[in-house]
Amino acid sequence: MTYAPSERQQERIAFRRRQAVRSVLLAALSTVVVGVLIVAGVTGSPGWPRVRQSFLNADVATKYLPDILDGFWLNIQLFLVCAPLALLLGLLMAVLRTLRGPVFFPVRALATGYTYTFRGLPLIITIYLFAFGLPGLRLQGTPDVLVLGGAAIVITYGSYLAEVFRAGIESVHPSQVAAARSLGLSYRQSMRHVVLPQAVRRVAPPLLNDVVSMQKDVGLISLAGPIDAIRSAQIGQAGSANFTPYVVAAVLFILLALPLIVITDRVTLRAARAQNAGT
């Protein structure tokens, strides 16, 4: 038997469609109005011609875009390496902090000291310490500043991610671990098959937010000396006495962040829907 909505139900559906169309049109109209007002206010200001010449110069942007793109490729490579390493380090530190028993106290203390220290230490200072302090020890086999700067980013963000992972682990009710142990699973198996899957799913949105933050902070590697997008923009600014190269680098970083931001928003929305549904 084919279901046929009643007349009243069809009226409700039609009304909701009209309301949805009306909401979309109002949102689009209000966005256009606000955008026009902002553009008019900025371009109509007395200093706009000078700002446009100093920050939005098309000739300068075209001249230095190839060099900035070459440096930006280094930022992308650094991010692709640092992000998974920071996630693994954060997960390891979170697991070490949740170990129980007095025999694991030194391990917990070291993990706690690590997270407290590098969460409070500014990333810029950490990069300086790693990139310029460690080579000063003159140890044999010391890597170059690019590797040391990347290590500073991994260690700093690993401390943030460790706390996110730990919050997810502790959000899993202890009764689930007890149930897993009663079924014969070891502590390691309980963490792997019961606790960590739930913990990672619950904290996926804040994890992705930290990854987005890392994506832009890899630009700080320029402080250590490598020629990335930021350093290339700085060279372009010094050569042209114009700030447009910085704007070009900023646009590239925004374009790189957009896919991650969209994924983060979708994961957050799915998590909220799942929580509201009670799943």
**The residue type at 152:** A
Helix (H, G, I), strand (E, B) or coil at 266: helix
Give the residue with greater pLDDT, 197 vs 126.
126
pLDDT in tens, 214-272: 998 999 998 888 889 999 999 999 998 899 999 999 999 999 888 888 888 887 777 76
* Burial 177-210, CB ≥16 within 10 A → b, else e: beebeeeebeeeebbeebbbeebbebbbbbbbbb
pLDDT in tens, 47-63: 888 888 888 888 999 99
Structural domain includes residue 51 = no
The alpha carbon of residue 121 and the mean position of all alpha carbons in its chain are separated, in whole angstroms, by 18
% the chain with pLDDT above 90 = 36
Structural domain includes residue 150 = yes
Structural domain includes residue 98 = yes
**The residue type at 4:** A
Query: From CA 275, how far away is CA 279, in angstroms rounded?
Result: 6
Structural domain includes residue 36 = no
pLDDT in tens, 64-89: 999 999 999 999 999 999 999 999 99
DSSP 186-249: -HHHHIIIIIHHHHHHHTHHHHHHHHHHHHHHGGGGGGGS---HHHHHHHHHHHHT-SHHHHHH
* Number of domains observed in the structure of the chain: 1
CATH of the domain at 164: 1.10.3720.10
**Containing structural domain, residue 133:** 56-278
Structural domain includes residue 50 = no
Structural domain includes residue 25 = no
Structural domain includes residue 46 = no
- Of the pLDDT bands very low, low, confident and very high (cuts 50, 70, 90), residue 46 is confident
Structural domain includes residue 90 = yes
Which pLDDT belongs to residue 150?
A: 93
Which pLDDT belongs to residue 268?
A: 76
